[in-house]
């Protein structure tokens, strides 16, 4: 059975926003109980109503991100070379003049609407040269993460070096 991911964006009038969020929270909770639903996340913009578009690479100013409005069920962590990034870890990479942002979701890198298995795969999948050509990047050198327990962002290359030391 193949899996699909559906991303939907809603715009609401400011006076109806809180009522709409309450309705969507209930819908998310009920949907998670369905047998065929593997995950249902409700995301709200952190800074303004256009932040989710930027997260998905659909609009201007990728400096902002969206945050989960409903705690997602525990998912798998992503682990490689001694580095463990829990489900819901935030990830970001600056390349050229853009900041690309995403999240670890059930053991995979979800960045700008696409799913990747590794930091290098995500870096190569989203970064482009100034002429629009694909890149060949070592993602360990570019990605920063903010795990659920972290107060600040940290380079995954630093985490890998710490893991190698023990």
pLDDT digits (tens, 9 = 90+) for 33-49: 777 777 777 776 655 54
CA 45 – CA 51 distance, rounded (Å): 5
pLDDT digits (tens, 9 = 90+) for 122-163: 999 998 888 888 888 999 999 999 998 888 999 999 999 999
Q: Which residues contact 90 (CB under 8 A, 6 or more apart)?
A: 65, 101, 102, 103, 145, 146
pLDDT digits (tens, 9 = 90+) for 8-26: 777 777 777 777 777 787 7
Confidence grade of residue 64 (pLDDT, cut at 50, 70, 90): very low
Query: φ, ψ for residue 125 (rounded to 5)?
Result: -70, -25
What does the radius of gyration of the chain's CA atoms come to, in whole angstroms?
17
């Amino acid at each position: 059975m193949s899996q699909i991911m559906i991303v939907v964006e809603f715009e609401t009038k400011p006076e109806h926003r809180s009522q709409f969020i309450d309705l969507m929270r209930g819908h998310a909770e009920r949907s998670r109980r369905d047998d065929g639903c593997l995950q249902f996340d409700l995301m709200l913009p952190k800074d303004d109503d256009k932040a989710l578009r930027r997260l998905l690479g659909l609009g201007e100013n990728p400096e902002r991100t969206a945050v989960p409005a409903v705690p997602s069920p525990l998912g798998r962590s992503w682990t490689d070379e001694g580095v463990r990034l829990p489900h819901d870890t935030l990830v970001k990479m600056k390349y050229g003049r853009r900041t690309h942002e995403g999240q670890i979701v059930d053991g995979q890198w979800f960045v700008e609407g696409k799913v990747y298995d590794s930091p290098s795969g995500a870096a190569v999948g989203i970064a482009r040269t100034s002429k629009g050509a694909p890149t060949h990047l070592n993602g360990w050198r570019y990605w920063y993460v903010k795990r659920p327990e972290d107060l600040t962002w940290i380079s995954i290359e630093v985490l890998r070096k710490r893991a190698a030391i023990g």
